[in-house]
C-alpha cells in the first residue's frame, strides 16, 4: 500500500498549496490516516465523522458516554460482520470473519473483539502522532529545513519523533502486591502506564527527552512491546513517512500561528485538539 499512501498524502497536500494557514488536525492529521484505514476495513468514507465521534467517546470519555459509544460501535460492527458473512470482500473485516486459527473458525466474540480493536486502533493513534510530530517541526524550523534538504533522513526522523512523542497510555491490573519507588501497589489495582516514559528512559539513550535526528536507532515503545505490540505499526510508519515527505516537498515552510498555545487532551490516547499552522 506504500504507493497508495504516498499518493493520498500528496493529493491532500496539493489541495493546500493556495492556503496561507491551516488547522493541521481537522484538515490533514485526521482525514489522511482515517480515510486509508476505513478503506482497509471496507467501511464507507462518508461515515468518517460519525466513526471519529464514536472513537473519541470511547477513548476520551468515561461513564455513560463511553458505554453508549461502545454499544453503538458493537451494534454497527455486528451489522458489518453479518454482511461479510454473506458477501465476502477483500477488506480486513472480511478477513477476520472468514479466518481460521489452529484449524477452527474464529468465534463470534473473537471476530467482534478483533474488529473493535482494529477500529479503535486505526482511527486515532496516527492522527494523534501526526499532531505532535508536526508541532515539533513547526517549533524547530532548523530541523524542518534539514528534512527538506535531506529527505533520506525522514524515515529515521519518524523513529526519533515516535520515541519522544508517544501518545498511548496502556492500562494494566496488578496481579500481586508490590512496592515500587516507595509506592505500594496492591493486587487488583489498575495502573496507567504511559509508554512515553519508557521511551525517554535516560538509561536507554543520552539526553532522552530531546529530539536528535542523528540518533542511531534508539529503541522506543511507541508501538508497545511483547504480545501487545501494535499490529498496525508497519502501516503507521508508512503513513507518517509519507506525510512528512509530502509536506516537506510540496508545501513551503510552516510555523505555529502566533499567540497559539496548543492544548492536549485524552486518556488512553493523548492528542492535540487543534494545531494552527502558518505557511511562510
Question: Which of residues 3 and 22 earns the better pLDDT score?
Answer: 22
Q: What is the pLDDT of residues 178-233, one digit of tens each?
A: 999 999 999 999 999 888 888 898 888 889 999 999 888 778 889 988 888 888 89
pLDDT of 62 strictly over 80: no
Domain boundaries, the chain: 2-252+262-275
Q: Are 120 and 76 in contact (CB under 8 A)?
A: no
pLDDT of 65 strictly over 90: no
Q: What is the pLDDT of residues 250-269, one digit of tens each?
A: 999 999 999 999 998 877 88
Query: Which alpha helices (H) appear in the chain, and where do they start and end?
Result: 2-14, 24, 31-41, 48-60, 63-86, 92-98, 108-122, 125-139, 141-149, 154-164, 195-199, 233-250
* Per-residue confidence (pLDDT) for residue 98, from 0 to 100: 95
Range 227-256 burial, b when 16+ CB lie within 10 A, else e: eeeeebeebbbbbbbbbbbbbbeebeebbb
Element (DSSP H or E) covering residue 191:
strand 190-194
Q: Are 168 and 268 in contact (CB under 8 A)?
A: yes
Q: Which residue, 118, 53, 54, is CA-closest to 81?
A: 118
Q: What is the pLDDT of residues 73-119, one digit of tens each?
A: 999 999 999 999 999 999 999 999 999 999 999 999 999 999 998 88
pLDDT of 150 strictly over 80: yes
Share above pLDDT 90 across residues of the chain, in percent, rounded to a whole number: 67
Region 232-246: mean pLDDT is 95
CATH superfamily, region 2-252+262-275: Cytochrome P450 (1.10.630.10)
Pull the grid cell for residue 113.
Answer: 473483539
pLDDT of 174 strictly over 80: yes
For the chain, the average pLDDT equals 92
Q: How many CB atoms lie within 10 A of CB 206?
A: 10
pLDDT of 53 strictly over 80: yes
* Per-residue confidence (pLDDT) for residue 165, from 0 to 100: 93
Q: Are 167 and 230 in contact (CB under 8 A)?
A: no
Predicted confidence band of residue 161 (pLDDT cuts 50, 70, 90): very high
Query: Sign (positive/negative) of CA torsion 48, 54, 57, 59?
Result: negative
**What angle (nearest 5°) sits at the alpha carbon of residue 39, between those of residues 103 and 94?**
20
> 3-state SS of 82-119?
HHHHHCCCCCHHHHHHHCEECCEECCHHHHHHHHHHHH
pLDDT of 175 strictly over 80: yes
* Per-residue confidence (pLDDT) for residue 52, from 0 to 100: 84
Q: Which residues sit opposite 104 in a β-bridge? A: 101
* Per-residue confidence (pLDDT) for residue 255, from 0 to 100: 97
Amino acid at each position: 500500500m506504500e504507493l497508495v499512501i504516498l499518493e493520498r498524502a500528496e493529493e491532500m497536500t496539493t489541495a493546500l498549496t493556495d492556503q496561507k494557514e491551516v488547522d493541521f488536525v481537522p484538515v490533514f492529521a485526521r482525514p489522511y490516516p482515517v480515510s486509508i484505514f476505513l478503506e482497509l476495513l471496507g467501511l464507507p468514507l462518508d461515515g468518517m465523522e460519525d466513526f471519529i465521534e464514536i472513537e473519541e467517546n470511547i477513548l476520551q470519555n468515561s461513564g455513560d458516554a463511553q458505554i453508549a459509544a461502545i454499544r453503538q460501535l458493537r451494534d454497527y460492527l455486528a451489522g458489518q460482520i453479518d454482511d461479510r458473512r454473506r458477501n465476502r470482500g477483500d477488506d480486513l473485516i472480511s478477513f477476520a470473519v472468514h479466518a481460521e486459527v489452529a484449524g477452527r473458525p474464529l468465534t463470534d466474540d473473537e471476530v467482534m473483539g478483533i474488529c473493535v480493536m482494529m477500529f479503535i486502533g486505526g482511527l486515532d493513534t496516527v492522527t494523534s502522532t501526526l499532531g505532535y510530530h508536526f508541532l515539533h517541526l513547526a517549533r524547530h524550523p532548523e530541523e524542518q529545513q534539514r528534512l527538506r534538504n535531506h529527505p533520506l533522513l525522514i524515515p529515521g526522523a519518524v523513529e526519533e519523533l515516535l520515541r519522544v512523542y508517544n501518545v498511548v497510555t496502556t492500562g494494566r491490573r496488578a496481579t500481586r502486591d508490590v512496592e515500587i519507588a516507595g509506592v505500594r501497589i496492591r493486587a487488583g489495582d489498575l495502573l496507567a502506564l504511559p509508554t512515553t516514559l519508557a521511551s525517554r528512559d535516560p538509561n536507554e539513550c543520552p539526553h532522552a527527552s530531546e529530539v536528535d535526528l542523528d540518533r542511531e536507532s534508539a529503541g522506543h515503545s511507541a508501538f508497545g512491546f511483547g504480545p501487545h505490540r501494535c499490529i498496525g505499526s508497519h502501516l503507521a510508519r508508512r503513513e507518517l513517512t509519507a506525510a512528512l515527505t509530502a509536506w516537506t516537498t510540496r508545501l513551503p515552510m510552516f510555523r505555529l500561528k502566533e499567540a497559539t498555545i496548543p492544548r492536549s487532551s485524552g486518556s488512553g490516547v493523548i492528542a492535540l485538539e487543534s494545531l494552527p499552522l502558518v505557511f511562510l
